[in-house]
Structure 1
Amino acid sequence: MNNIVFIVNEHAGNGRGKKIWMKWKEAITFPYTFVLTERSGHATEIARGYATSSKDELLIIAVGGDGTVHEIIVGVTGYNHVRVGVISAGSGNDFGRTFSVFKTTEQLNKYVHSNYESVKMDLALLTIGHDSYPVVNNAGFGFDAKVAYSVNHSTWKKRLNTVGLGKLTYIIYLIKELFTFKRFSFTLHTEDKMVTYDDVWFIVVCNQPYFGGGMKISPLSKPNDQLIEMTVVYKLARWKLLFIFSTVFFGKHTKYKEVIQFQAKNYTISMHDKVYGHVDGEFSCITEENHSYIFTVISKAWNLAKHIEKGV
């Protein structure tokens, strides 16, 4: 295969991206180009630049975490001649729990030198007024978004990362928000009815099962079935929320009556409170009262490089 580009985020996973790239590049047995990302959003610019500059078949390989993968997929969406491969190098790596990723240099070399495959994947889209936010893994509003925002803007995260304990930051803010988070209400609009939910902890819309570093929030989600799943957690005592979070890693939370799930091609929700939102773990907005937030599916939006060892 000609035209192979690695987009490398050396800072992913608190420097794990650089370590992995230094190791992998020594074992690569084919010609390639590589580019290092320099800032947030840079991977999208790089990927789109390569996608638009050539009509020849192109393989772009991400070396980084879920954020880097998200940016690259956004950059190449709609370009049918581009495949995206992934070498997971972040801290959470939820993408690699569902999608086919390259786990060894042997897998990658074999893929490039042999009869390589790709599979078309869906992309979800969150539309807020005139703004649109592509969603690779999941997006939502509420408790989890507030925790993610607090963690990403915390000086504690940087301090704890230096000693390899960055995940403790998530636990600290999860417990804090457990006692301080103000629950909210929203109205879900479907083709045949409207339903209002009160006392809501969070809403999450998923294109694949995992979020938050391995929590199987949406067990039925498949990234290429032209459907997206919504999970709502509501009317739940604070102590019970913490208990349910412990069951999410195994996908067992769905048995509780306070957890409801839907499956559809699109959702429209009206928020009745100001709530933090996220897209693939990154801050998206603070909702406005009585504004509409629309989730839709873009079918077969991008091509995933798939090696034979894993199905999706």
Structure 2
Amino acid sequence: MKYFIIINLHAGGDNAKKVWPDIQKQLAAAHADYQTLYTAYPNHAVELAEQALSEIDTANQTDAVLIAAGGDGTLHETLLGCQHYYRVHQNDHPVPIAFLPVGSGNDFARGLKIPLHWEKALADILTQSAAKTINVGHYTDLDHHSEGFFTNNFGIGFDATVVHLANHSSLKSHQFFGQFSYMAAILNVIIHFKGFKTEILPGNMPKVTFDNTFLLTTTDIPYFGGGINIMPSASVFDDHLDLVVVEKPSLWQLILFVSMIFLKRHLRLKFIHHYHEKELFIKTNGNRLGQIDGEELGERTFNLKLDTVKYPFWIR
């Protein structure tokens, strides 16, 4: 087996850089055949994934695995690179992706029960013998005729604003306090966030309009925001997506919402709406912040179609 490791050394407040020598030692001890590709700038992992796949095809290598070593953003970019490559170069047996969680959020790892300690996660990768096909999120921007993919979730509004503030927080780059950057951002957004109008067309159901949307996230896994269990039943082995819409709560409703999340009973609340569909249409009025797998999409109007596509992952 040949492993192509795409690593973001700055992931997790430079945690990846700190543990990389130990990762190399474990690889050497296992006599692993691997090649390292280092990310140097945003979206570089997209290019590196395409580069690795081109090299694999040229060598006609049939036993290769791409390892995304970093956080959810590194995994997201690696998936994008693979999808871009195979849109041009059709292949019935695409190279699988493995995830080595050395970032700060690691929600994908939580959702698929990949060990959060890199030593165990790497050992699992090196002893795995076959890939599993999972469903990953796919979206089409109906206004700009573009598309994209996500392993975790696509959020508009509250969670996107949290991601924006967390990514620009001085805590984000701190090795220890980086894990608290999301919580600090959440408190900030709770105080200042204003609701917005959203139109939802869930599958073949009638259109639903929410005039005061607070949180809107389409997810393929249970977690978002660094470990918040927003959709306990979500699964990558299901070809449906889960959409959670929260109408802007009052203070007491917000306290109830947070409390019920920890009990995994928040979906019972009247101001929370859940849809489980193979296909979703979402439209917002005015410019809103968006995020995908913890990566900022900027502020814009969204007019989206969302569904899933299949891709092999090197997981247990």
TM-score interval, smaller chain? 0.7 to 0.9
Given that 1:215 and 1:251 are in contact with CA atoms closer than 8 Å, whether structure 2 keeps it comes out as: no
Q: C-alpha distance in 1, partners of 2:267/2:12?
A: 30
Map 1:88-103 → 2, pairs under 5 A: 88-99=101-112, 101=114, 103=117
Q: CA deviation at 1:250?
A: 4.4
Aligned with residue 145 of structure 1, among 150, 155, 160: 160
Q: C-alpha distance in 2, partners of 1:177/1:237?
A: 14
Output one character per residue of 1:234-271: Cα deviation in whole Å (capped at 9) or x when no partner.
15213422442343244221121111111111111221
Map 1:165-244 → 2, pairs under 5 A: 165-190=177-202, 191-244=204-257
More helix by percentage:
2
- Is residue 306 of structure 1 aligned with residue 315 of structure 2? yes
Name whichever of 148-157 and 271-280 sits farther off.
148-157
Q: CA deviation at 1:138?
A: 0.3
Output one character per residue of 1:207-245: Cα deviation in whole Å (capped at 9) or x when no partner.
111101111111121112111010010152134224423
Q: CA deviation at 1:106?
A: 6.7
Aligned with residue 52 of structure 1, among 45, 51, 54: 54
Match of 1:75 in 2: 81
Q: C-alpha distance in 1, partners of 2:165/2:128?
A: 45
Q: Which amino acid aligns with 1:69?
A: L
Given that 1:100 and 1:305 are in contact with CA atoms closer than 8 Å, whether structure 2 keeps it comes out as: no
Given that 2:234 and 2:242 are in contact with CA atoms closer than 8 Å, whether structure 1 keeps it comes out as: yes
- Is residue 124 of structure 1 aligned with residue 137 of structure 2? yes
Q: C-alpha distance in 1, partners of 2:191/2:124?
A: 51
Structure 2 unaligned residues grouped into runs of 5+: none
Given that 1:141 and 1:275 are in contact with CA atoms closer than 8 Å, whether structure 2 keeps it comes out as: yes
Q: C-alpha distance in 1, partners of 2:178/2:120?
A: 31
How many equivalent pairs are there? 298
Residues 156, 110 of structure 1: alpha-carbon distance in 2 compared, 3 angstrom cutoff: closer
Q: C-alpha distance in 1, partners of 2:277/2:295?
A: 24
Q: CA deviation at 1:104?
A: 5.9
Please, what TM-score do these two structures have when normalized by structure 1? 0.87
Given that 2:13 and 2:172 are in contact with CA atoms closer than 8 Å, whether structure 1 keeps it comes out as: no
- Is residue 24 of structure 1 aligned with residue 39 of structure 2? no
* Percent of paired sites with the same residue: 27
Q: C-alpha distance in 1, partners of 2:252/2:260?
A: 14
For the residue of structure 2 that corresponds to 1:147, the secondary structure is helix
Q: CA deviation at 1:172?
A: 3.1
Residues 250, 94 of structure 1: alpha-carbon distance in 2 compared, 3 angstrom cutoff: farther
Q: C-alpha distance in 1, partners of 2:24/2:118?
A: 12
Aligned with residue 40 of structure 2, among 38, 56, 60: 38
Match of 1:310 in 2: none
Q: CA deviation at 1:156?
A: 5.3
Please, what TM-score do these two structures have when normalized by structure 2? 0.86
- Is residue 295 of structure 1 aligned with residue 294 of structure 2? no
Given that 2:246 and 2:271 are in contact with CA atoms closer than 8 Å, whether structure 1 keeps it comes out as: yes
Calculate the aligned-residue CA RMSD, in Å. 2.3
Match of 2:284 in 1: 271
Q: C-alpha distance in 2, partners of 1:207/1:90?
A: 20
Q: Which amino acid aligns with 1:304?
A: F
Q: CA deviation at 1:304?
A: 0.9
